[in-house]
Amino acid sequence: MVQNVRVRKLLIGALAVATALVVGAVGTDFGAAIYAEYRLARSVRTAAHLQWDPWASILGFPFITQAVDRHYDEVEIRAAGVDHPRVGKVSLEATLHSIDLRDTGWLIGPDAKLPVGKAESRIIIDSTHLGRFIGIPDLLVEAPTGESNDATGGTTESGISSNRGVVFTGTPDKAGYHERVSIAVDLTITGPDQTTLVMTATGVLTGPGTADQPVPEDKRAAVLAAFSGRLPDQRLPFGLAPTAQGARGSDIIIEGIAEGVTVALDRFNLS
């Protein structure tokens, strides 16, 4: 009986030691990841001349193994409230996959140039700032009718809707029409450097999920013109070429995806 008690105590002690070691290892890994993310955020802020630290995340576990191997699986960077010469404020996002750290080390500095397997970057314009730009202050942007309007739906991996029939709802007072209406708008990118967003209103929408307000024929052309426009200087982080544009939530998003590129942190903000 006494021997059983001793064995039980030994087992409990061994288990406690093992648990402490595991918790300590996980805590160390977590702490190292937080510090690396902090340094990355500071480096992006410095290099891209941002007013405050962006949100930065280094994904994958364990972190220390990635740091030792000088290879991060995935990095995400997000900056909100970035000054923009056309619309006032935008948000910038980037997702980097398979990041080579051999020339920079695990703490990424502001001068870093990072070879990556795939880069995704996005510029995000919310309904409020876009509405001010086109002269419709109460503008609300939504995904095309029939498409999911959240960060998990849409037609791209990042949840961006298709670019045809994006729903713009607002009051086009400048067109001489003072009722709230919903308009189908097509989004395209044009210009020699592919940085101009073109918004082309194609029709009035009625029915469920819209303002359900018809427009008289004599006001139709002016109303459609009020919801149309050209928005220049939409330069994506790291200078990626746009590959998709659409709605996500109540925002317009322009996205670029490229494989096998090298990105420099000072090109995160090109506004």
Mean pLDDT score, 110-138: 97
- The residue-averaged pLDDT of 123-143 equals 97
Q: What is the pLDDT of residue 143?
A: 95
Looking at this protein, which amino acid is placed at residue 30?
F
- For 225-234, what is each residue's pLDDT tens digit? 999 999 999 9
Q: Write the CA distances from 85 to 82, 123, 231, integer angstroms.
A: 10, 13, 11
Do you find a cis peptide bond into 85, omega within 30 degrees of 0? no
- What pLDDT digit, counting tens, does each position of 19-64 carry? 443 444 445 667 788 999 999 999 999 999 999 999 999 998 799 9
Model confidence at 14, pLDDT cuts 50, 70, 90, reads very low
pTM of the model: 0.86
223 alpha carbon, distance to own chain's centre? 31
Beta bridge partners of 57: 76
Which burial class, exposed, middle or buried, applies to 9 when counting CB atoms under 10 A from its CB (0-12, 13-18, 19+)?
Answer: exposed
Q: Give 159-180 pLDDT, tens digit per residue.
A: 899 999 999 999 999 999 999 9
Q: What is the pLDDT of residue 25?
A: 44
The rounded percent of the chain whose pLDDT value lies above 90 is 79
Mean pLDDT in the chain?
89
- Interatomic CA distance for residues 67 and 37, integer angstroms: 12
pLDDT attached to residue 154: 53
pLDDT at 12 over 60: no
For 223, other C-beta atoms within 10 Å of its C-beta total 21
More confident of the two residues 120 and 18: 120
Q: If pLDDT is split at 50, 70 and 90, which confidence band does 271 have?
A: confident
CB 169 within 8 A of CB 139: yes
Split at pLDDT 50, 70, 90, the class of 240 is: very high
Residue among 125, 188, 119, 120 at smallest CA distance from 158: 120
